[in-house]
A and B are shown apart, each in its own frame.
Chain A
Amino acid sequence: MASNKKYWKSVEELKEDSAIVKALQDNEFVTEIPTDEFLGDKKTLESSSTTRRDFLKYVGFTTAAATLAACEGPVVKSIPYVVQPDEIVPGVANYYASTMADGFDFANVLVKTREGRPIKIERNDLAVNGGGSANARVHASILSLYDKNRLVGPMLDGAAVTWPEFDTAVAQKMNDMAGKDIVLLTQTFASPSTSKLISEFTAKYPNVRHVVYDSVSCSGALDAFQNKYGTRALPDYDFSKAEVIVSVGADFLGDWQGGSYSKGYAQGRIPKNGKMSRHIQFEANLTLTGGKADKRVPATPTQQVQILKALTGGSASGLPANIADAVDKAKAQLQKAGSKALLVTNLPDVASQTLALNFNANSEAIDVNKPLLIRQASNSEVMNVVNGVVSGTVKGLITVGVDPAYSLPNTKEFNEAYQKLEMSLAFAMRLDATASMAKMVAATPHYLESWGDAQIKKGTYSLTQPTIRPLFNTRQFQDCLLQWTGNSQKYYDYLKETWTTSILSGGSWSQALHDGFIASNAEVKMEEVNPTMEGAGVMEEATSNGALSFSMQEGGYDLTLYTSTGLGDGQQANNPWLQEFPDPITRASWDNYLTVSAADAEALDLVNEHVSNGALNGSYVNVKSGNIVIENVPVIIQPGQAKGSVGLALGYGKTAAIQEEMQTGVNAFPLYQNFSNIQKVSIEKASGMHEFACVQLQSTMAGRSEDIIKETTLEIFNTKDKSLWNSIPVTDYDHSPISVRDKKADIWSPFEDTVGHHFNLSIDLNACTGCGACVIACHAENNVPVVGKEEVRKFRDMHWLRIDRYYSAGDTFKEEIETLENLPAFDTYKVVEVPAYENPQVAFQPVMCQHCNHAPCETVCPVAATSHGRQGQNQMAYNRCVGTRYCANNCPYKVRRFNWFLYAENDEFDYNMNNDLGRMVLNPDVNVRSRGVMEKCSLCIQMTQKTILDAKREGRPVKDGEFQTACSNACETGALVFGDVNDKESEVLKLKDNDRMYHLLENVGTKPNVFYQAIIKNTSEA
């Protein structure tokens, strides 16, 4: 049943005669090794006077010389501390609880430090229900600490100064500016102490007013919530409590309203007692959320307005029949679910948000009493400031953690006006677009070097603590404010005082700092952020049912601006891990692009084509909105993109203080008019082809298509036997079929793996949302190098863990099967799959080394560099590897990665491993691999070994849950579960015995130690 379904990664695979796909399936590397290239041109070689004998002499001599020179060992120095801090034991990691709050990402985290330097971010499990989630960007933020392009000290008029000089200049300026309008434009801090401090500052300088600016606005939702509940906040949702989830454009597994809800969502998506939630998604761009939905209906934003209206009781007009039908069914299901229904939307206007809020008023899944405080900005107020700057009524601007010169829609006129301001002071971590124009620049530290607090969600408080001394001559914003308000306290003391007086209510400060988080109902008077205050714009009113307050004129394309999983709002654009992180949907890295539907692409004559080595090229377009033109935007033809709509990611195209390699993509903020993520644009084709670094055709499993993804419906899962929907592949033995799990089907003798530990990893495809936190955590833990765009394009990316994204046909699974059964065999794919391109089913599948018990790679290694461990791990000895690449060729899963170059200390690969600062992030327990060596996932053997050693040292057995890998540790949804199957009580053993369990390509007979849980979709329409 499941095997009838064809999964594909790229539309290229649907073309039956595609030479590229064929080549990719047949060969490990699609192109021949370019020997001609490095041998130089033949003519010179032939005319050369060097004979073969001479050549051998030179080689012999140099080898001998090099060998002799290498005989002398280097003198290595060891420098101990003069006074060793009590808590540091060299070689043992310390963990500190902290909180990331950069205005876009808010998360409670654990920081792993070694010998006083932070090397990894992990989730803080003590912060239960604390709001915020540790997504890929939060995990990668560790590398942004060691960014060599950071600001190293304060500057006045472009010249470096000392902090006392800077303080004097600021005090002087503030005095000169007395009575003139100064705006303090900050990110959302959600910080009680900072809020208090800012009010003290504005009390001392009454001409300063504080305005919050979120570069990606949630103003509509905030206004709607404030209108209804009186607090400027965002409602918190618990998706695990919702039985029917309908989303109108809301990518709630992505960055929708500031936080990912994947954890709660995943809980509701794992079938328990025959039940799981039903998820219907109406959206224009194909998002992570849409990919996970049971039913996804492509709908342009214009249609989404009507859909929302219809769902909330209004009457819709102009909807195509299929959408109208889907809406009716969704509406019925919502009604049936009653208080267990949830409706969310990402339409930016207050009216739409109010509709959803009203609809959810009685839902169990919404929490309005303890809302999220991670977005505060009001569009009208920010607009007011911007207009003030442009018109000259605002005389001074202090920016903190925001970069309006980059992220405002009208940067051109703003920047001109900004340079004429009497006072321009920027607090910045890098000399970004705003700071590079500011007369005064205060260098701020990274959050891992700072003190701070945050109230991510009402009723919870989190602490930020420094985990390393400031790397540069920086001072945090709060310390500056204390200095400038004449307060002699350090911010640490101020923070502690605020906490002891108003938050801890008698609790222990040390405990709070240790946990990084407390749940407390203490009310701290936060500074009033009220958009209706004097001088601000008028707050948008919630108008009548479904009337979108922005007008959508006819014609053109509906553009939905979104933030990508990798870069978000672009604050970490200089982070090579995030740049190289392939987008979970398009699988493209190092770029943003316009996603266009296949039909529109055809109409506009836009193409995506794979060149001979499999790399993707795409046409360029110019995107026009009013008089704004963004030129040369590359196009990706996106299956599932709603016809008539296009999508473009914000956060790219940064250039100020960004390393050249990472100045990628185009800046989409000029299109972000009125801070609305929905825009009308026109598109025209431009000349030339863009070269993408897109890995979607890479690592095909050698043309095999069975047993990759297994999928069924809840109905079948509940009623039918497992062998029907999750059958074990069979093979031939003595001319009769036997199961591949049968011993006789095996030519290998089994390993003794019942004594001691035996590690298995379970991957639940229902719970995996493709968020990519595991990919980045793997980078940090295992010193995975960054190879750059050119190399990724050649399919030489080094990710040990990739998240494959598969498309498959059919609006619904059932529909597909029925069609398939009724069609002549020859026509199936052309008839079913190609139209499915308009709205494919999506499956995410994390693939790492499967640690086969009968590993094909091990048998072909001529030097036994890869061998099998008794604990189930397939081990790779780098120092033994001679780089024949036989193993990669023989691996059915294509998970082995070859070091084509030396990626550390090599100017050709100028990423974090090429500078002293960036190398501080390296994990000292794991090797940095050299050129010519094969590498792959080790199942984090350094972590399992450490767990075992800790247990041995303490003389106790290992408890279940203690064994972790970087990926299972990072996984928030619980999709990845790691453990010891010889422990009869372990969770992973229960998962191994689960009905949904299957092995990837089980028919190959590799007996992997990684297994998957089949996808179950809830297709019930009633």
Chain B
Amino acid sequence: MKKVNFIHLRSKFALLLLVFLLTFSTTLYSQDAPAADVTADAGGDVAAGESLFKANCAACHKLDQKAVGPALRGVGEKFDRDWLYKWIHNSQALIAAGDAQAVKLFEENNKAVMTAFPALSEADIDNILAYTDQPKAAPVAAAGGEATTSTAGEGGGSVSNTLVIGALALIFLLLVIMLFLVTNTLKRIAAANGVVYEEKEKRTPLWKAFVQNQFLVVVFSIFLLLAAGYFAYGYMMQIGVDQGYAPVQPIHYSHRIHAGDNQIDCNFCHSSARKSKHSGIPSLNVCMNCHKNISEVAPETATEEYSKEFYDGEIAKLYKAVGWDPENQEYTGKTEPVKWVRIHNLPDFAYFNHSQHVTVAGIACQTCHGEIQEMEVVEQFAPLTMGWCINCHRETNVNLATNDYYAKIHEELSKKYGIEKVTIAEMGGLECGKCHY
């Protein structure tokens, strides 16, 4: 019933798309990128070092950027290996012992105390250092380069496409002009030769015949009215229903990356969904819990559509909004609250409470919001119409057994009516006043 008036358009579009895909199918396959090779380094196992680094160091250190601690790329070459062992095993002891280099380093880094890692063996440290001493990643550049080439390729495809269509159109035009010229010439020749055309007998035009046939007219009118009614109804019913509404947000926040790839629980950020009517848009300090340390995305996060640079730029937008200076690792105090565009808009006269559904009923977020963990850009999944609400209330049973609130009601129901299961509707969940006040 939705947007029926576009059915035609859609089918045409699909046809065009098919033609287009068939024509350029080769370019689609050409985008399979070869996996970047990780080169091994002498003096330690880089792969083992990487996993150790991520497990132990990445909370405070980055390779090329200052985080809580300094950037670590090339650190193995800067310092003496034995000194590094000592420092990593217990930096505070080294400082306490008055080691000049250690004290200097401590002072340079705002006297941030580094956790001691006595458990790391010297071999482990070698592995980590092998990882950190790798030259600045070629793979990153390669990935970037590939992204650009792929877009260029796509751009080229569309250019040739228009070219071909243009050429075809030109040829067609030429043919039409030629045909016109030829007929004219032929007519002139015929006139010169005195050939006389035989005039065709005039037949009743089709439309006149149609108009004269009253039965057809009546049937057609009825059909037309019904069809118009059908489409009008379909159109009217989707007014104010914004299913599929996916506005552009001031910061391109990807639920795919957070809820999907990184499997962060929805309630971690939308914590008030458990106790309030609002699910709550997380305040920016919640973002900074993680993003204080995550200033860039991993290369593999990037997709064809959105490059790593794009995502890093979005994180930079967050820093600007929250007033975080990533260079000096401090808050500037200059904040710019983010004006998100609200996607799910219930009218004022409808009361909806998240905690009722999330905490009491235990409904998964996806039931109403769709597979949010796969959405790069969030869109309104459900129609949010009253019919949609009510339908669910009619079909869903109330969980009587595990909630003590329902204990008495449950007992009375089973005693009085022998009922063990009730739907929300039977509990009064369809009453107007439950949602409209």
Contact surface of A with B, Cβ cutoff 8 Å? 70-71, 73, 75-84, 89-92, 754-756, 865, 867, 869-871, 873, 875-880, 925-928, 938, 941-942, 945, 948-949, 951-958
Q: Are A942 and B437 in contact (CB under 8 A)?
A: yes
Kindly list chain A residues whose C-beta atoms are within 8 Å of the C-beta of B335: 82
B8 interfacial by beta-carbon distance below 8 Å: no
Kindly list chain B residues whose C-beta atoms are within 8 Å of the C-beta of A942: 351, 437
Q: Are A77 and B342 in contact (CB under 8 A)?
A: yes
Bound CA span A926–B350, Å: 10
Q: Are B432 and A955 in contact (CB under 8 A)?
A: no
Which of B212-220, B255-263, B355-363 forms contacts with chain A? Answer: B355-363
Bound CA span A79–B321, Å: 12
Given A78-B342, A871-B428, A925-B277, 11 new contacts (CB under 8 A):
A80-B337, A82-B321, A84-B286, A90-B272, A90-B280, A91-B276, A869-B431, A877-B433, A880-B436, A927-B436, A941-B437
B283 interfacial by beta-carbon distance below 8 Å: yes
Q: Are A91 and B278 in contact (CB under 8 A)?
A: yes
B434 interfacial by beta-carbon distance below 8 Å: yes
B13 interfacial by beta-carbon distance below 8 Å: no
Q: Are A79 and B338 in contact (CB under 8 A)?
A: yes
Q: Are A949 and B431 in contact (CB under 8 A)?
A: no
Residue of A nearest to B358 (CB): A953
Bound CA span A83–B287, Å: 10
Q: Are B285 and A82 in contact (CB under 8 A)?
A: yes
Q: Are A89 and B275 in contact (CB under 8 A)?
A: yes
Q: Are A84 and B285 in contact (CB under 8 A)?
A: yes
Q: Are A925 and B403 in contact (CB under 8 A)?
A: no
Residue of A nearest to B345 (CB): A76
**Given A879-B347, A955-B404, are A89 and B433 also a contact pair (CB < 8 Å)?**
no
**Min distance, Cβ B334 to any Cβ of chain A, angstroms:** 10
B317-364 residues at the A interface, CB under 8 angstroms: 321-323, 335, 337-342, 345, 347-351, 353, 355-356, 359-360
Query: Can you give 14 contacting A-B residue pairs, CB < 8 Å?
Result: A73-B245, A78-B339, A81-B284, A82-B337, A754-B416, A869-B428, A869-B434, A870-B431, A879-B347, A927-B349, A938-B433, A952-B406, A953-B275, A956-B405
Q: Which of A78, A82, A867 contacts B340 (CB 8 A)?
A: A78
Q: Are B404 and A83 in contact (CB under 8 A)?
A: no
Of the listed residues B272, B282, B433, the one surrounded by the most CB atoms of chain A closer than 10 A to its CB is B433
Kindly list chain A residues whose C-beta atoms are within 8 Å of the C-beta of B404: 955-957
Q: Which of B239, B272, B342, B416 contacts A89 (CB 8 A)?
A: B272
Residue of B nearest to A958 (CB): B405
Q: Are B283 and A949 in contact (CB under 8 A)?
A: no
**Min distance, Cβ B406 to any Cβ of chain A, angstroms:** 8
Q: Is the interface of A mostly helix, strand, loop or mixed?
A: loop
Q: Which 8 pairs of residues, A with B, have the shortest CB-CB distance? A: A875-B433, A91-B276, A84-B283, A877-B432, A91-B278, A81-B283, A76-B342, A80-B281
Kindly list chain B residues whose C-beta atoms are within 8 Å of the C-beta of A867: 431-433
**Min distance, Cβ B269 to any Cβ of chain A, angstroms:** 10
Contact surface of B with A, Cβ cutoff 8 Å? 239-240, 242, 245, 247, 272, 275-278, 280-286, 321-323, 335, 337-342, 345, 347-351, 353, 355-356, 359-360, 402-409, 412-413, 416, 427-428, 431-434, 436-437
**Given A75-B341, A79-B339, A756-B427, are A90 and B433 also a contact pair (CB < 8 Å)?**
no
**Min distance, Cβ B354 to any Cβ of chain A, angstroms:** 8
Bound CA span A876–B359, Å: 28
Residue of A nearest to B331 (CB): A83
**Min distance, Cβ A783 to any Cβ of chain B, angstroms:** 11
Kindly list chain B residues whose C-beta atoms are within 8 Å of the C-beta of A877: 432-433, 436
Bound CA span A865–B341, Å: 33
Q: Are A755 and B283 in contact (CB under 8 A)?
A: no
Kindly list chain A residues whose C-beta atoms are within 8 Å of the C-beta of B360: 949, 952-953
Kindly list chain A residues whose C-beta atoms are within 8 Å of the C-beta of B406: 952
**Min distance, Cβ B424 to any Cβ of chain A, angstroms:** 12
**Min distance, Cβ A439 to any Cβ of chain B, angstroms:** 39
**Min distance, Cβ B204 to any Cβ of chain A, angstroms:** 37
Residue of A nearest to B278 (CB): A91
Kindly list chain A residues whose C-beta atoms are within 8 Å of the C-beta of B282: 80
Q: Are B239 and A71 in contact (CB under 8 A)?
A: yes
Q: Are A77 and B275 in contact (CB under 8 A)?
A: no
Kindly list chain A residues whose C-beta atoms are within 8 Å of the C-beta of B413: 755
**Min distance, Cβ B192 to any Cβ of chain A, angstroms:** 60
**Given A78-B340, A867-B432, A879-B347, are A953 and B283 also a contact pair (CB < 8 Å)?**
no
Of the listed residues A70, A755, A948, the one surrounded by the most CB atoms of chain B closer than 10 A to its CB is A755
Kindly list chain B residues whose C-beta atoms are within 8 Å of the C-beta of A865: 432
Bound CA span A90–B407, Å: 30
Bound CA span A927–B349, Å: 6
Q: Are B356 and A870 in contact (CB under 8 A)?
A: no
**Min distance, Cβ B12 to any Cβ of chain A, angstroms:** 24
Bound CA span A78–B341, Å: 6
Residue of A nearest to B422 (CB): A755
Kindly list chain A residues whose C-beta atoms are within 8 Å of the C-beta of B286: 84
Kindly list chain B residues whose C-beta atoms are within 8 Å of the C-beta of A948: 405
Q: Are A77 and B349 in contact (CB under 8 A)?
A: no
Residue of A nearest to B431 (CB): A869
**Given A77-B339, A79-B339, are A953 and B355 also a contact pair (CB < 8 Å)?**
yes
Q: Are B433 and A92 in contact (CB under 8 A)?
A: no
Q: Are B407 and A957 in contact (CB under 8 A)?
A: yes
Kindly list chain B residues whose C-beta atoms are within 8 Å of the C-beta of A956: 404-405
Kindly list chain B residues whose C-beta atoms are within 8 Å of the C-beta of A880: 432, 436
Bound CA span A879–B341, Å: 26
Kindly list chain A residues whose C-beta atoms are within 8 Å of the C-beta of B416: 754-755
Bound CA span A948–B405, Å: 9
**Given A755-B412, A875-B432, A927-B437, are A78 and B284 also a contact pair (CB < 8 Å)?**
no
**Min distance, Cβ A755 to any Cβ of chain B, angstroms:** 5
Q: Are A941 and B433 in contact (CB under 8 A)?
A: yes
Kindly list chain A residues whose C-beta atoms are within 8 Å of the C-beta of B433: 867, 869, 873, 875-877, 938, 941
Q: Are B342 and A92 in contact (CB under 8 A)?
A: no
Residue of A nearest to B356 (CB): A949
Q: Are A945 and B409 in contact (CB under 8 A)?
A: no
Q: Are B284 and A83 in contact (CB under 8 A)?
A: yes
Kindly list chain B residues whose C-beta atoms are within 8 Å of the C-beta of A82: 283-285, 321-323, 335, 337
Bound CA span A956–B408, Å: 10
Bound CA span A865–B247, Å: 35
Q: Which of B276, B277, B349 contacts A879 (CB 8 A)?
A: B349
Residue of B nearest to A938 (CB): B437
Q: Are A75 and B247 in contact (CB under 8 A)?
A: yes
Bound CA span A391–B94, Å: 83
Bound CA span A875–B355, Å: 23
Residue of A nearest to B398 (CB): A952
**Min distance, Cβ A66 to any Cβ of chain B, angstroms:** 12
Kindly list chain B residues whose C-beta atoms are within 8 Å of the C-beta of A926: 437
Residue of B nearest to A954 (CB): B405
**Min distance, Cβ A76 to any Cβ of chain B, angstroms:** 4
Residue of A nearest to B286 (CB): A84
Q: Which of A71, A80, A927, A953 contacts B348 (CB 8 A)?
A: A927
**Min distance, Cβ B130 to any Cβ of chain A, angstroms:** 41
**Min distance, Cβ A934 to any Cβ of chain B, angstroms:** 13
**Min distance, Cβ B235 to any Cβ of chain A, angstroms:** 9
Residue of B nearest to A951 (CB): B405
Q: Which of A75, A79, A873 contacts B337 (CB 8 A)?
A: A79
Q: Which of B276, B285, B347, B405 contacts A83 (CB 8 A)?
A: B285
Kindly list chain B residues whose C-beta atoms are within 8 Å of the C-beta of A755: 409, 412-413, 416
Kindly list chain A residues whose C-beta atoms are within 8 Å of the C-beta of B276: 89-92
Kindly list chain A residues whose C-beta atoms are within 8 Å of the C-beta of B321: 82
**Min distance, Cβ B65 to any Cβ of chain A, angstroms:** 24
Q: Are A952 and B403 in contact (CB under 8 A)?
A: yes
**Min distance, Cβ B85 to any Cβ of chain A, angstroms:** 41
**Min distance, Cβ A836 to any Cβ of chain B, angstroms:** 43
**Min distance, Cβ B174 to any Cβ of chain A, angstroms:** 44
Kindly list chain B residues whose C-beta atoms are within 8 Å of the C-beta of A951: 405
Bound CA span A123–B54, Å: 56
